[in-house]
Amino acid sequence: MSRVSAGDGGAVPRRARRHDPGRRDRLIDAALTVIAERGLAGTTHREIARVADVPLGSTTYHFTSLEELLAEAFNRYAATVARVFDERMAAARDRDAAVEAVITLVSDDLLGSQRDLVLTVELYVAAARNPVLRAVTQEWMARSRQALERHFDADTARGLDALIEGLTLHNALSTEPMTPAQIRDAIRRYLR
Amino acid sequence: MSRVSAGDGGAVPRRARRHDPGRRDRLIDAALTVIAERGLAGTTHREIARVADVPLGSTTYHFTSLEELLAEAFNRYAATVARVFDERMAAARDRDAAVEAVITLVSDDLLGSQRDLVLTVELYVAAARNPVLRAVTQEWMARSRQALERHFDADTARGLDALIEGLTLHNALSTEPMTPAQIRDAIRRYLR
DNA sequence: ATCCTTTACGTACGAATGTACATATAATGT
DNA sequence: ACATTATATGTACATTCGTACGTAAAGGAT
């Protein structure tokens, strides 16, 4: 009812923030951050809200359920990664350049971003039990394979995709990761 | 205080079960079952107790914390899988037999057991945040590589291990798994 | 200006969870 | 037989969670 008088020092700003367009997007990004940092098990409405710096009620307003929020988050993540993958393969002019692009992709995923690796594995686990997320992974895989098929035949692309997956995963979990040279050799060996 | 008289029909057996040696082992196995069926997030004291058919209190008696129980479970799982892996490689008489053994391993993992695949990925996720579990995965990987090095040089073993991982994971998640012939070709192609 | 719709916010509640713990029973040693 | 120890069991409690919901403020139409 009462308004704070202008001259007052104004102790507690009761309801500060307002008018935050794009908040829905920020919540999705915050969800990905939380998943990467705390794992899916530690991803709660409250933690997401804390990271996005919004009140709890905002999360339930923008998303009807936590599951929906998580699905949107994983969907955004997969789309982002798939786009990068596709762009690099599209930029390769010939097969040799494509081989180098693959090597770069693996090396960047490994050395560049522990976050992406964690998100990927979290998605795999979740997809094992959630049909919506399984669809996300399948579309992702299809796009990856399609990108590889710009330069390699279908069977080669299929196996190469698996090799990329294994190299990434193995090295992220290992205390003694393969050297870039070893990664390069493994890929070239399969593609020779 | 009072004892049920012999002639009585005896309505409710208050405390039926007792003297259950090996219960600790059963709890570990039950934990693996629950992880595979419900995921790590759905793995609780109560659910493990239900599967093992023991009261809740029994789980907290045998294990000081849920984390300890999970660590023992994953440790047992990794040891079991690694042993099978090692046995098959040890049984191979020459390199050709070893190649066939690898193909069999991948095919069996894929077609044989969705359970194992789920447990593996759950372990990977957990290992990303739990040092104890990370040690479990690293020892597992070391044993696998060692087994492969019975027949292949170190670099080959390293890449082959990754390829096996990727093939298994990809096919478990895919709606259109690779045929056994495709799997065989991919492995032989890398080892050629 | 007045109304209506959308967006935002705070609080509350039932359900589930990890764990502690008092009690009870079997096993074992003497 | 008795005492001591290891094992087993049921219950309770503080905490955290997803979600519901009443209220408040902003945007936009008229």
Query: Cβ of A57 < 7 Å from strand D?
Result: yes
For A172-190, give one letter per residue: b (16+ CB within 10 A) or e: bbbeeebeeebbbbbbebb
CATH classification at residue B44 = 1.10.10.60
Residues B100, B149: one domain? yes
CATH classification at residue B97 = 1.10.357.10
Residues 100-119 of B with CB under 8 A from A: 117-118
Query: Cβ of B56 < 7 Å from strand D?
Result: yes
Residues B84, B57: one domain? no
Residues A47, A101: one domain? no
Q: Does any domain span residue B143?
A: yes
Tell me the average pLDDT across A90-105. Answer: 96
The per-residue pLDDT for A95 is: 96
pLDDT band at A176 (very low <50, low <70, confident <90, very high): confident
Residues B42, B126: one domain? no
Q: Report whether pLDDT(B13) > 80.
A: no
Q: Of the candidates A40, A63, A86, which is a domain's last residue?
A: A63
- DSSP 8-state secondary structure symbol assigned to residue A64: S
Residues 129-168 of A with CB under 8 A from B: 129, 134, 137-138, 141, 155, 158-159, 161-167
Residues (61-80, chain B) with CB within 7 Å of strand D atoms: 61-62
Q: Where are the beta strands (DSSP E) in chain A?
A: none
Residues B103, B175: one domain? yes
Overall number of domains in chain B:
2
Q: Of the candidates B11, B36, B63, which is a domain's last residue?
A: B63
Residues A186, A99: one domain? yes
Query: Cβ of A42 < 7 Å from strand C?
Result: no
Residues A107, A148: one domain? yes
Residues A156, A123: one domain? yes
pLDDT band at B1 (very low <50, low <70, confident <90, very high): very low
Nearest protein residue by Cα to C1' of nucleotide D10:
B57
Q: Report whether pLDDT(B2) > 70.
A: no
Q: Does any domain span residue B12?
A: no
- As a whole number, the mean pLDDT across chain A is 88
Q: Chain A residues with CB inside 8 Å of B158's CB?
A: 178, 182, 186
Test mutation, B67, B140, B173, B175, chain A, max A CBs within 10 A: B173
Note down the domain range covering B165.
Answer: 75-191
Query: Cβ of A25 < 7 Å from strand C?
Result: no
What's the token pair of residue B179?
């045929």
Q: Report whether pLDDT(B5) > 70.
A: no
Q: Does any domain span residue B70?
A: no
Distances (CA, A) of A128 to A30, A78, A138, B36: 23, 16, 11, 10
Residues B52, B29: one domain? yes
pLDDT tens for B132-176 read 999 999 999 999 999 999 999 999 999 999 999 999 998 888 888
